[in-house]
Amino acid sequence: MLNAYFVVARSSNNIIRLTRRDKAPDDSDTVIHVYATASQLKRYVNLLARGRDLISVNDASSREPTGPSG
């Protein structure tokens, strides 16, 4: 089964994209890969649908996202 991972910018903690892999990809100097739960994926998709451009890992993890809602 493929797991979902957020590709996250180290400098801003913003999600760059979503990837699905059978194991966690290697991190680099500029990005880290964070395992994404089903509820985090749902919140991430909802934020994208509402027009959010910059979504942090914290926004995808919290029940009530902070910042502009689009």
Residue 34 lies in a domain: yes
Q: Which residues sit opposite 3 in a β-bridge?
A: 21
Residue 31 lies in a domain: yes
Q: Per-residue pLDDT tens for 3-51?
A: 999 999 999 999 999 999 999 899 999 999 999 999 999 999 999 999 9
Residue 67 lies in a domain: no
Residue 8: the pLDDT is 97
Residue 32 lies in a domain: yes
* Global pTM value: 0.82
Residue 47 lies in a domain: yes
The number of domains in the chain is 1
C-alpha of 3 from chain center: 13
Structural domain that includes position 12:
3-61
